[in-house]
Amino acid sequence: MLEIQKITKVYNAGTVTENRLFSDFSLTVDDGQFVSVVGGNGSGKTSLLNIICGTIPAESGDVLVDGQSISRQKDYQRCASMGRVYQNPALGTCPNLTMLENLSLADNKGRPFGLSRGVSKTRGAYFREQLAALGLGLEDKLNVKMGSLSGGQRQAVALLMATLTPLRFLILDEHTAALDPKTAEIIMALTDRIVREKRLTAVMVTHNLRYAAEYGDRILMLDRGRIVLDRAGQEKRDTSAEELFQLFSRAALDCG
C-alpha cells in the first residue's frame, strides 16, 4: 500500500513566483490498484510522481510504503521497489547498448553488479519469449542498438524492462504522450496487459482522458494541487470520457 501523508510542496518559496502547490495533500493507493491521474498543466500530476519517486523533496509530510516511511530514501533506493516509465522514450533505455544488453541490465536489478558476465548466455531465450509476447516483432532485434529503434519500440522495451523483475509499484509518467496515436494505443494496451498479468500496483499520469476512462480501476483528477475527483470501482467504470471532459473543463473554468 502506498500512502502519501499531508505533503506540502512549495516552489520558489519567498519569491514573487512562490507557488504553494500541495498543502496537506494526502492519498492512499491500495495494493493492486491501477490509478489514472489527470489534470491540467500545473495541477501537480508530475510533481506528485516526483515526490513519490524521490526525485524532488517535499517541504513536509511523508510517503509510506506498507506503513514504513520512505521519505529518507534517495531516489535510486526507492527505485528498488518501483519501476518508472517516462514520457521521453529515450530515458528508458541506453541508446548505444543493444537490446540484449539493456535487457540484461534490467534483469539484474536488485542483485549485485559484480564481475560476472554482463550478458547471460542462458537468458536469451527468456528475453526472446518476453519480447515476442509484446507482439511487436522485437524478438529478432536483440542485437540491435536501441538508438536505432523507433520511439514506440523503445518505449515498449522500456516498459518490459521496468517490469522484468518483481516490483511493488509501476509509475507511468505520461508514457504515451510522445508517441503517435497508433503506437500509443499499442503501448497502452500493452501496459494494461502487463499490469493485470503481473498484478501490479500502478499510478499512471496521463493527458488522455479516454485512456483514463478506459483503463485502470480508479481515476483521480487534480487541480492546483487538490483532488477534485476520485472515483473507483463501479463508479469509475460508469464514468465516460465525455463526462470526464466536462468535469475537466468545468474545473478549468472555475479557476478562471
Partner 1 sequence: MLDLVISTVTQGLIYALISFGVYIIYSILDFPDLSVDGSFPLGAAVTAVLLTRGVNPYLTLPAAIAAGALAGLSTGLIHVKLHVRDLLAGIITMTALFSINLQIAGSNLTVERATDTIFTAEPTMAVFGGLSLLGRKLAVAFLLTLAVKLGLDAYLRTKSGLLLRAVGDNGTLVTALARDRGSVKILGLTLSNALVALAGCVVCHEQRSFSATMGTGQVVFGLATVIIGVTLFRRLRFVRGTTAVIVGSILYKTCIQVAISLGLPANLLKLITALLFLLVLVLSGRKGEEIIHA
User: Which residues here bind partner 1, judged by CB under 8 A?
Assistant: 74-77, 79-80, 83-84, 86, 90-97, 101-102, 104-106, 108-110, 112-119, 162
Q: Which residue number, 17 or 68, has a Cβ lying nearer to partner 1?
A: 68
d(CA 88, CA 178): 7
Q: Which residue number, 114 or 256, has a Cβ lying nearer to partner 1?
A: 114
Cβ 86 to partner 1 shortest distance, Å: 7
Q: Which residue number, 118 or 135, has a Cβ lying nearer to partner 1?
A: 118
State the sign of the Cα–Cα–Cα–Cα dihedral 7, 20, 72, 200: positive
The SS3 assignment for 76 reads: helix
Cβ 123 to partner 1 shortest distance, Å: 12
Q: Which residue number, 111 or 182, has a Cβ lying nearer to partner 1?
A: 111
Cβ 143 to partner 1 shortest distance, Å: 11
Dihedral angle over CA of 98, 99, 102, 104, nearest 10: -110
Neighbouring CB atoms inside 10 A of 194's CB total 18
Cβ 54 to partner 1 shortest distance, Å: 10
SS (H, E, C) 195-239: HHHHCCEEEEECCCHHHHHHCCCEEEEEECCEEEEEEEHHHHHCC
Q: Which residue number, 104 or 183, has a Cβ lying nearer to partner 1?
A: 104
Cβ 226 to partner 1 shortest distance, Å: 30
